[in-house]
Each structure stands twice: as C-alpha cells, then as structure tokens.
Amino acid sequence: MILLEDTRQQAKKHEAKHRWFAENGVDVVRSKLVVGDYTLPTDQSVCIDTKSGLLEVCGNVTQQHRRFVEELELAKQLGIRLIILVEENGIRTLEDVNRWSNPRLRFSPKATTGETLYKILSAMEQRHGCQFLFCRKEEAGAKIVKILGGGDLGI
C-alpha cells in the first residue's frame, strides 16, 4: 500500500506512525496535498487530517476558526470527505469529548470545556460534512490505513 503524506506534515513529530507504516509494508510518499495530511495516490476522495490531541483541536476551532473552516469548506467543494483523526488517549467517540477535562482550565476559567468543544465539533460535522474520529496515539498509523481501505493488511 502507498500513502501520500502532505509535505507540510512535520516528519519528526510523526515517527510512531512512520514506524508502524514501515513495519506493515506501507510506503509513504511526501507530496503537497490540497487538504489533510494523508490520502491514497489512486483515490483522493478521502483525506485524513491528523491532530495530536484535543488541545490542538481546541486551538483550531477557536483561535484559528476561520482558517480551519476554510479548509473544511474547500474539501467539501472539491468533493473530498475530510476525516479529522484526533490522537487522544481515553477518547474513543465524539460523545466522549463531553467528559474531556481541558488542562488549561486550571489556569484560565475561560478555557474551552469538554462540553463546549463537543458542541462545536458536532456542529462542524453537521455544517461542513467532515467527521471527527479518535484513537490512541500508538494506534494512529493502523487507523489511517484502515480508514483509507487497508483491508489487505488484515486491519
């Protein structure tokens, strides 16, 4: 299996995924992607945008809201199904985000709560046609391959 990985994806920060890919016969080719971080060279109708955790997602949907929504809308206009894969241990479903405790709440009572983040992400799925999926950090490589149709790897 061959995956395309966006050239803007910082390679050094994704060594666990790269190691999993290499161990499972997945070749990764770095290329400029229109949206997302990973897709297939033969079918780019599904793209995966990886996030290192809910804190990154929080920043995307609050401080960088306009840029994030523009990317979601671009994917929608191009007919690309954009999946945001969040690597967050302990969160398995979007509903689990409700019970997430933002570590920034210890320092700022105005920080985004899990309940508020859940509402924002649910609304984004409805309005922009994206999907938020979750996995543990060490499962990210396998999850990417599974989403993109890596059934031939026995996943």
Q: How many domains does the chain have?
A: 1
Pairwise CA distance, residues 26 & 17, whole Å: 10
Pairwise CA distance, residues 82 & 84, whole Å: 6
Sign (positive/negative) of CA torsion 54, 55, 56, 62?
positive
Residue 15: the pLDDT is 84
Q: Let me know: does 45 contact 82? Beta carbons within 8 Å.
A: no
The residue range of the domain holding 86 is 2-153
The structure's pTM equals 0.92
**For residue 146, what are its two tokens?**
């599974």
Pairwise CA distance, residues 5 & 46, whole Å: 13
Residue 152: the pLDDT is 47
Residue 40: the pLDDT is 96
Beta bridge partners of 38: 5, 48
Confidence of residue 23 (pLDDT cuts 50, 70, 90): very high
What mean pLDDT is reported for the chain?
92
* pLDDT tens digits along 42-55: 999 999 999 999 99
Nearest one of 90, 66, 75, 63 to 37, comparing CA atoms: 75
Span 8-27, average pLDDT: 87
Residue 151: the pLDDT is 52
**For residue 67, what are its two tokens?**
């840029």
The CATH code of the domain that includes 119 is: 3.40.50.10130
Span 25-52, average pLDDT: 94
H helices then E strands: how many in the chain? 5, 6
As a dihedral over the C-alpha atoms of residue 147, residue 132, residue 37, residue 67, rounded to 10 degrees, the angle is 160
* pLDDT tens digits along 64-114: 999 999 999 999 999 999 999 999 999 999 999 999 999 999 999 899 999
